[in-house]
Amino acid sequence: MTDAQKLASLAAADGGVLTTAAAVAAGISKTALANYVASNHFERVSLGIYLSPEAWRDEAYLLQLRCPQIVFSHDSALFFHELTDREPLQSTVTVKTGYNPKHLTSQGVKVYTVKKELYAIGISTAATIFNHQVRVYDMERTVCDVIRSRNSMETQVFQDALKLYAKHRGKNLQNLMDYAKTFHVEKLVQQYMGVLL
């Protein structure tokens, strides 16, 4: 198999996305990658990330590739978990305290920061509409996050999310209460869930 065939296969397997990291891992030189990208009119999305002209642009996946440290949270996580029917106008992500989010906010991404010891709690994955996997907080962490940020959320979105969570077959109330203790929203979670469950 030639380098061009390998690269075509890599791009096809990833929905038209090629990364330098994937090419190098497959034993292809950066020069061969550059030649292939140029001759096949791939768009340079970011450093080391290229998109085929035939590919659908999966913004959430491309954002995750550009910034592997992010975890989709709040409004974005609600949408991934189908706890809202409103697709957010901007992506919402969480990063560790100390991470400089300037390049994200300049692109219209809403960024929350948390202490390093809280960052990894509840990280899971979800599929984008183009079936790429991205990192997202699980439903229980998301419920705690939206309760903590309730004053900056649209009231209807907040209320609908809690109602949908309460009805959700996959909910894990034990995890929810464990997270609620960790994030100091135990009383609020009990109050909201007490009414809905």
User: Are residues 84 and 23 part of one domain?
Assistant: no
Mean pLDDT computed over 80-100: 93
State pLDDT tens for residues 110-158.
999 999 999 999 999 999 999 999 999 999 999 999 999 999 888 999 9
Residues 111 and 22 in one domain: no
Quick one: DSSP state of residue 87? Answer: P
Q: How many domains does the chain have?
A: 2
pLDDT computed for residue 29 by the predictor: 93
Do 128 and 92 have their domain in common? yes
pLDDT at 197: 64
**The sheet that has 49-51: what strands, in order across it?**
17-19, 49-51, 43-46
Total-model pTM: 0.90
For residue 174, what are the domain limits? 60-196
pLDDT at 1: 84
Same domain, 85 and 125: yes
